[in-house]
Chains A and B, each alone.
Chain A
Amino acid sequence: MDSISNGVATVLEALQITTFQKVQYCDDAYIKIKKAAQDQAPFDLLITDLSFKADHRTQKYPSGEILVKALKQEHPNLKTIVYSVEDRPAKIRTVLTECKTEAYVCKGRNGLKDLTEAIHAVYNGQRYISPQLVNTYKQSPPSEIDDYDIELMKLLANGLSQEEMSIHFKNNDIKPSSISSIEKRIVKLRNHFNANNSIQLISIVKDLGII
């Protein structure tokens, strides 16, 4: 814990930020921020982890997530950076959207470097997310196929032409049934299964046992 906060302190010192306070508990942070706001000398930035080891002290704010959420409501001008080992996209998404934190920095080999960049960005009124998380955060979810796609690939495997498929879908009242939409689907499916052509697509899905 201390080594981490020392790391953070090093970063702050390197940035020539001299006025900062370190606390071990979220509750303490909350009280200090409240008091500073009352004394007309509010804090500009909060850097917090998400999870803290629970001990004998009962906490009103047991996690950084809750602390940030509460402070963001009461002190909208306070900037926050979440600095955590957590790299699950779902978690990051909730922290970014629900807690409205300005920056999310993942602890790791480049953690401190990222933190420096995050402080710069936040200072300039921008948002920041660690580069290695940007991918997961922004990456499109796994491709989804449905029963229509399965049926389409079955027909393809049976050697039907796109015209014949279109007639088949029309006869069975399945939509979409136009040749152009069938063609688009096949292209999409080839893309999903990393296939160069329809023959390879059928081969892959046959091997997987999908059809």
Chain B
Amino acid sequence: MKNLPLSFLFFIPFVAFVTAASHSQTQPDSARFYYNLIVNPQKSIDIPKGIKYYQLQKEKHLKEGNTYQAIQDIRLIAIGQNTLGDLYETETAFVEALTLIDTAAESDTLSQSRVGLYNQLGNIYRFQYNYEKSIKAFDNALRFSKKQTDSITIINNKANVFKDSQDYESALKQLNLAKSKNNISQDSLLLALVLDNLGSVQAKLKIPDALENLKKAQKIRAQENNLTGLYASYKNLTLYYFDKKEKEQATKYANKAYQTANTINIASFVQDALSLFVIIGEDEKMIAYKNLSDSMAKEKQLAENKNAFIKYNVANERKKTAAALLNEEKQKTHKILFLTIGLLVFISSIFIYFISKSKHKKEKLEQIHITESRISKKVHDEVANDVYHLMAKVQGNVTENEELLDDLEKIYNRTRDISKENSAIEIQENFSLQLNDLLLNYQNEKVKIVTHNISKIEWKYLSSIKKTTIYRVLQELMTNMKKHSNASMVVVSFQQNNKKTLIEYTDNGKGCELKNKNGLQNTENRIQALNGTIIFDSKPTKGFKAKITL
């Protein structure tokens, strides 16, 4: 556990190198220079310099809309921050990259950069002692990984997590898997990485191959002048000899590690190297001090878990909240708009209602007036005149009792007819029977009435106002027929077309000129009140026709 932070440190640059190498070749020389500053720092100023460069690059690429390059820039920033040991900044950069991938359109290259990001994420979790999540992240990375060298690195990192959680068997399994990959010998540094790790795990499991592997790795790293790698090798060798109780060898490698750390000139390396002396010094108090400070650091780390994902989630949440707020605002605006429209419609409908009501009232009054004058005219023409004549007759004293009674009966019948014509009619369920009864009143020896399809009409679907109108209009037509036409034959034909009811009245009476509609104006009013039509057709001696559509 004690060697944890350092083994973490040197894997990151390596991963970055592997995943970014293919792109770095095409980069201009200055880019190559800064890339090396990050990945293979020689001086303490190198990494901050590199980070500054990539921050500028990132801004530039984002402005150009080159998301892929921006993500690469962010990754190098993250690598740099990580090497500096600034975990919080690493996380921030990492979050930025993930967010960019999330928002950018899906593409293969972007999808590939997920490999590196998941790998890094795994490392971050590992550093935060979140082993479960770490393994998950590495598995994700493996899922997206298409290059075998990438896969080897990821498997190696996974093995490290197992090693941290002291599951050495699983770690050994992973490392053997990595070592068995075909391409491993092509990349000597990668091979060294796997061998070094394998060696240290084997040492823990007391497997004899351990020293051989550790030495092999150290040799490759020395050849390649890979300082961070070399430091790790020296450290592992130190620990190996310490475990074997070979104090002389242990001290020798500890010194070498310290020298290398000084050459790298990064505080965390130097600190780590110095801690090696504490371990091999076997001073109880010193060890106690180290254990305490280690566990305090761990506590602090756990407490401070300003987890990048949490932050990422918080940012996401914030974004969602903002979107929701925006949406709400929009809806509010819509609501106000709809409310305004609704209110306008409401007000105008009230307006229209009152206008039409007053119009209707006026029409109704007019109708009442027309009806009143019609009835009064009828009473005057048909009753008052006759009564006057009768009065004259009685005054002249020329009447006999029987004759007087006859006249009186005529007048009585007239008044009864007027009352019948104007009394309210109750629409009965069997309307065709009711119509037949009406027509029957006008049938006698002289006049024959024939109906056509009267029983085929679905009267129940007609409103009662329509039925009343039909009744009244037919009544008026028949009365008109009885009074004026001298017809001997009347045909009333019914037809239903869609929702319209067609009624055709025909008689064979003497007909008339249609110039003045005399009593029939009223039927026209009735039909028109229901948006129906009535068409009269007549010529003298040619009978009379009326076509009603309702």
Given A90-B434, A142-B449, A146-B452; 6 other pairs, CB 8 A cutoff: A109-B412, A139-B440, A193-B450, A208-B507, A210-B452, A210-B506
In the bound assembly, the distance between CA atoms of A109 and B404 in angstroms comes to 12
Partner of A193, one of B412, B436, B489: B489
Q: In the complex, what's the smallest C-beta–C-beta distance from A78 to chain B, in angstroms? A: 26
Task: Name A136's closest neighbour in chain B (CB-CB).
Answer: B440
Is there a chain B Cβ closer than 8 Å to A204's Cβ? Answer: yes
Please determine whether A194 and B489 come into contact, CB atoms closer than 8 angstroms.
yes
* Chain A, 86-120, CB within 8 A of any chain B CB: 87-90, 93-94, 108-109
Q: In the complex, what's the smallest C-beta–C-beta distance from B403 to chain A, in angstroms? A: 13
Which A residues are CB-close (under 8 A) to B439? 141-142
Q: In the complex, what's the smallest C-beta–C-beta distance from A83 to chain B, in angstroms? A: 15
Task: Name A110's closest neighbour in chain B (CB-CB).
Answer: B409
Please determine whether A208 and B437 come into contact, CB atoms closer than 8 angstroms.
no
Please determine whether A208 and B489 come into contact, CB atoms closer than 8 angstroms.
yes
User: What total of A-B pairs shows CB separation below 8 Å?
Assistant: 83
Task: Name A93's closest neighbour in chain B (CB-CB).
Answer: B437
Is there a chain A Cβ closer than 8 Å to B448's Cβ? Answer: yes
List 16 A-B residue pairs with CB atoms under 8 Å apart, sorted by A's residue number. A90-B428, A136-B441, A141-B433, A141-B436, A141-B437, A141-B439, A141-B440, A142-B450, A146-B453, A150-B452, A194-B489, A204-B508, A207-B508, A208-B489, A208-B543, A210-B491
Task: Name A191's closest neighbour in chain B (CB-CB).
Answer: B448
Please determine whether A144 and B454 come into contact, CB atoms closer than 8 angstroms.
yes
Please determine whether A192 and B450 come into contact, CB atoms closer than 8 angstroms.
yes
Is there a chain A Cβ closer than 8 Å to B545's Cβ? Answer: yes
Please determine whether A145 and B451 come into contact, CB atoms closer than 8 angstroms.
yes
Partner of A89, one of B440, B492, B506: B440
Q: Max chain A CB contacts within 10 Å: which of B419, B448, B491?
A: B491
Which B residues are CB-close (under 8 A) to A150? 452
Q: In the complex, what's the smallest C-beta–C-beta distance from B416 to chain A, in angstroms? A: 6
Please determine whether B545 and A209 come into contact, CB atoms closer than 8 angstroms.
yes
Please determine whether A89 and B441 come into contact, CB atoms closer than 8 angstroms.
yes
Which A residues are CB-close (under 8 A) to B493? 210
Which A residues are CB-close (under 8 A) to B456? 146
Please determine whether A108 and B409 come into contact, CB atoms closer than 8 angstroms.
yes
> What 0/1 pattern do residues 440 to 478 of B give for CB contact below 8 A with A?
110100001111111110000000000000000000000
In the bound assembly, the distance between CA atoms of A162 and B545 in angstroms comes to 31
Please determine whether A142 and B440 come into contact, CB atoms closer than 8 angstroms.
yes
Please determine whether A145 and B412 come into contact, CB atoms closer than 8 angstroms.
no
Nearest 4 pairs of A and B residues by beta carbon: A141-B436, A142-B449, A89-B437, A109-B409
In the bound assembly, the distance between CA atoms of A109 and B405 in angstroms comes to 8
Which B residues are CB-close (under 8 A) to A194? 448, 488-489
Which B residues are CB-close (under 8 A) to A40? none
In the bound assembly, the distance between CA atoms of A109 and B455 in angstroms comes to 36
> What 0/1 pattern do residues 117 to 161 of B give for CB contact below 8 A with A?
000000000000000000000000000000000000000000000
Is there a chain B Cβ closer than 8 Å to A143's Cβ? Answer: yes
Which B residues are CB-close (under 8 A) to A88? 420, 437, 441
Q: In the complex, what's the smallest C-beta–C-beta distance from A91 to chain B, in angstroms? A: 9
Which B residues are CB-close (under 8 A) to A208? 489, 491, 506-508, 543
Which B residues are CB-close (under 8 A) to A141? 433, 436-437, 439-440
In the bound assembly, the distance between CA atoms of A194 and B444 in angstroms comes to 12
In the bound assembly, the distance between CA atoms of A108 and B408 in angstroms comes to 10
Please determine whether A144 and B451 come into contact, CB atoms closer than 8 angstroms.
yes
Task: Name A149's closest neighbour in chain B (CB-CB).
Answer: B452
Please determine whether A145 and B420 come into contact, CB atoms closer than 8 angstroms.
no
Please determine whether A139 and B443 come into contact, CB atoms closer than 8 angstroms.
yes
Which A residues are CB-close (under 8 A) to B412? 108-109
Which A residues are CB-close (under 8 A) to B428? 90, 94
Partner of B452, one of A87, A108, A136, A144: A144
Is there a chain B Cβ closer than 8 Å to A85's Cβ? Answer: yes
Partner of A87, one of B409, B416, B451, B506: B416
Which A residues are CB-close (under 8 A) to B416? 85, 87
Is there a chain B Cβ closer than 8 Å to A39's Cβ? Answer: no
In the bound assembly, the distance between CA atoms of A146 and B545 in angstroms comes to 19
Please determine whether B436 and A207 come into contact, CB atoms closer than 8 angstroms.
no
> What 0/1 pattern do residues 121 to 149 of A give for CB contact below 8 A with B?
00000000000000010010111111100
Q: In the complex, what's the smallest C-beta–C-beta distance from A121 to chain B, in angstroms? A: 24
A109-B412, A141-B436, A144-B450 given; A209·B443 CB < 8 A: no
* Chain A, 194-211, CB within 8 A of any chain B CB: 194, 204, 207-210
Which A residues are CB-close (under 8 A) to B434? 90
> What 0/1 pattern do residues 168 to 211 of A give for CB contact below 8 A with B?
00000000000000000000000011100000000010011110
Task: Name A192's closest neighbour in chain B (CB-CB).
Answer: B450
In the bound assembly, the distance between CA atoms of A115 and B244 in angstroms comes to 142
Q: In the complex, what's the smallest C-beta–C-beta distance from B399 to chain A, in angstroms? A: 16
Which B residues are CB-close (under 8 A) to A87? 416
Task: Name B405's closest neighbour in chain A (CB-CB).
Answer: A109
Which A residues are CB-close (under 8 A) to B440? 89, 136, 139, 141-142
Which B residues are CB-close (under 8 A) to A139? 440, 443
Q: In the complex, what's the smallest C-beta–C-beta distance from A189 to chain B, in angstroms? A: 9
Q: In the complex, what's the smallest C-beta–C-beta distance from A129 to chain B, in angstroms? A: 15
Which B residues are CB-close (under 8 A) to A209? 506, 543, 545
In the bound assembly, the distance between CA atoms of A141 and B439 in angstroms comes to 8
Partner of B489, one of A85, A90, A109, A204: A204
Which A residues are CB-close (under 8 A) to B443? 139, 142
Q: In the complex, what's the smallest C-beta–C-beta distance from B547 to chain A, in angstroms? A: 11
Q: In the complex, what's the smallest C-beta–C-beta distance from A199 to chain B, in angstroms? A: 16
Task: Name A207's closest neighbour in chain B (CB-CB).
Answer: B508
Task: Name B452's closest neighbour in chain A (CB-CB).
Answer: A145
> What 0/1 pattern do residues 29 to 64 of A give for CB contact below 8 A with B?
000000000000000000000000000000000000
Q: In the complex, what's the smallest C-beta–C-beta distance from A88 to chain B, in angstroms? A: 7
* Chain B, 94-124, CB within 8 A of any chain A CB: none
Task: Name B453's closest neighbour in chain A (CB-CB).
Answer: A146
In the bound assembly, the distance between CA atoms of A96 and B490 in angstroms comes to 30
A109-B405, A194-B488, A207-B508 given; A145·B436 CB < 8 A: no
> What 0/1 pattern do residues 70 to 88 of A give for CB contact below 8 A with B?
0000000000000001011
Which A residues are CB-close (under 8 A) to B507? 208
Task: Name B406's closest neighbour in chain A (CB-CB).
Answer: A109
In the bound assembly, the distance between CA atoms of A152 and B444 in angstroms comes to 27
Which B residues are CB-close (under 8 A) to A90? 428, 433-434, 437
In the bound assembly, the distance between CA atoms of A5 and B489 in angstroms comes to 42
Please determine whether A143 and B489 come into contact, CB atoms closer than 8 angstroms.
no
Please determine whether B452 and A142 come into contact, CB atoms closer than 8 angstroms.
no
In the bound assembly, the distance between CA atoms of A94 and B433 in angstroms comes to 12
In the bound assembly, the distance between CA atoms of A209 and B505 in angstroms comes to 11
In the bound assembly, the distance between CA atoms of A144 and B449 in angstroms comes to 9
In the bound assembly, the distance between CA atoms of A34 and B265 in angstroms comes to 125
